[in-house]
Structure 1
Amino acid sequence: MGQLNNPHRTQSTSLSRLVRNIAINRQLIYQMVKRDVIGRYKGSVFGVAWSFFNPIFMLVIYTFVFSIVFKAKWAGAASDSKTEFSLILFTGMIVFGLFSEAINRAPSLVISNVNYVKKVVFPLEMLPIISMGSALFHSFVSLLILLVAFILVNGYLPWTAIYIPVVFAPLIILSLGISWFLASLGVFMRDVGQTVGLLTTVLMFVSPIFYPLSSLPQEFQGWVALSPVSFIIEQARAILIFGLSPDWQGLALYAIVALLFMWLGFAWFQKTRKGFADVL
């Protein structure tokens, strides 16, 4: 990392090269993810324990606000239990939280690491992967809390929960592609960060997080289904809450589209990174 870097050299856009680079830099990725997670809670009394307290607190708040204050019920749920409603809602928030954390951080990834661009040899394309690793850590903690809460409430865990990696993988791939695109765009257009924050807020309400997709009028279901997180939210609830097998055909199609977006985002990042040093 102490060697001089030529920021203007042409970078490979090959996905196979990307996979090799990830393997080569796996220790670097691990250390930087660890530093990112710990650094987020640096100076606080409870440290990383906050990553457990926050989702527990939010789960309690969701239960109170939507089940007691609004007396909301989930269409198609097995019962009218307040705890079941909050678990269904929490599942949607976990999926959306993974996507939104990665996307919201993406525009500032390069501009907040200027030294990596100009002074040292550093695989800049790893920055979105490191950010995703941090988001995955927090999502894993939330998932763990969700599963424990489900067991405490119902006394069992649906066997379909083993499909969690299969359901989340396409969303991770898609999020990486978008992150590479936004990380590059954020270097040249500094308003991207604010715009993305606004769009993800809108996306939270136009995705089936607080309501099932089936509860919408038919003419709106198609539009809401276009949200990048809608299908994954529905599939996550199917395997974690309702004990249903995933929609394999839908997941395969989603994965193909996600891989295309990932390659396009990565290729864009690699092609435009030659201009980073000039702008920064």
Structure 2
Amino acid sequence: MDPHAAQSASLSSLVSSLWRNRQLITQMAYREIIGRYQGSIFGLAWSFFHPMLLLCVYTFVFSVVFKARWGVAGEQSNSEYAIVMFVGLIIHGLFAEVLNRAPSLVMTNANYVKKVVFPLEILPLISLLAALFHSAISMIVLMAAFLIFNGYVHWTALYLPLVIAPIAILTVGLAWMLASLGVFIRDVGQTIGIVTMVMMFLAPVVYPITAVPESVRPWIMANPLTFIIEQGRSVLIWGNAPDWLGLLGYSCVALAVAWLGYFWFQKTRKGFADVL
């Protein structure tokens, strides 16, 4: 394959590539998950220990030391603030982990660009699958804590995959864009970490949306994390069904961003070999 040749950017080529390389995607995602803990004593068990330790720290600091309460009516247990906040942290973590790594994906796999025939477009998807695995483990820990503290789990938690799917699609689309830009503009890798950190504080992660002044609230709602975080809490913590119409609209925008990201990646990849 000529690395300088133009690549198809159609939706059919994307679907075909993902289906044709499904085994490779699965194997490389598994290798990335295992590789994170390679050489450690506890190995993959760290994927459970890490969110458990974080949740314990958040519960102590915010519920015992700061005595923080979420902006909802009624009595709240000491652990509720930490659990509600943890939902936002998990969703932001999924988003930030993929985007922070995206600018260096092609550069760290330069041998795939120059020497072998490799479907470069699957690299962001592999990163997304690894991040989804760790987010799923964190969600299991969260649900276990919710069950321990409250004695039940809302059946609406079954809707969670439908809530997460749109932001996963949006994230991989942005990752395609950043993976390409990171090859040509090295500053992207330094900038995106700041952007994702700012996005965390401009989303209702550590505060309820009701605490934001009305004049500022539209800007917070424009953050792509806000809607998904609110919907995640709705199905996990409050026991409500998701906003189906809102999820439909969000999904349409996410699909459009994903296709634009893939289109950009395919149209610019012929220049990767020259830069690397």
Secondary structure at the counterpart of residue 174 of structure 2: helix
TM-score normalised per structure 1: 0.97
Q: CA deviation at 1:78?
A: 4.6
> 1:35 — aligned with what?
31
- 1:48 and 1:79 map into 2 onto residues whose CA distance is 38
User: What amino acid maps onto 2:201 in structure 1?
Assistant: F
For the pair 1:63 / 2:36, whether they are aligned, the reply is no
> 1:159 — aligned with what?
155
Q: Which runs of 5+ in 2 are unaligned?
A: none
Q: CA deviation at 1:80?
A: 2.1
Structure 1 residue corresponding to 2:47, chosen from 48, 51, 64: 51
Return 214-223 or 266-275, whichever deviates more. 214-223
User: What amino acid maps onto 2:253 in structure 1?
Assistant: V
Q: CA deviation at 1:68?
A: 1.7
User: What amino acid maps onto 2:61 in structure 1?
Assistant: V
Structure 1 residue corresponding to 2:207, chosen from 205, 211, 236: 211
Residues 159-197 of structure 1: CA deviation (Å, up to 9, x unaligned): 111111110000000001100000000000111111000
User: What amino acid maps onto 2:81 in structure 1?
Assistant: F
Q: How many residues align?
A: 276
For the pair 1:181 / 2:172, whether they are aligned, the reply is no
- 2:207 and 2:246 map into 1 onto residues whose CA distance is 20
Residues 78-135 of structure 1: CA deviation (Å, up to 9, x unaligned): 5321211111011111111110001101000000000100111100000000000110
Q: CA deviation at 1:77?
A: 5.4
Matches within 5 A, 1:236-275: 236-275=232-271
RMSD: 0.9
Q: CA deviation at 1:76?
A: 1.1
Return 239-248 or 64-73, whichever deviates more. 64-73
Q: Which runs of 5+ in 1 are unaligned?
A: none
User: What amino acid maps onto 1:156 in structure 2?
Assistant: Y
- 2:233 and 2:116 map into 1 onto residues whose CA distance is 44
For the pair 1:200 / 2:200, whether they are aligned, the reply is no
> 1:6 — aligned with what?
2
User: What amino acid maps onto 2:179 in structure 1?
Assistant: A
Residues 200-233 of structure 1: CA deviation (Å, up to 9, x unaligned): 1111111100011122110111101111111000
Secondary structure at the counterpart of residue 8 of structure 1: coil
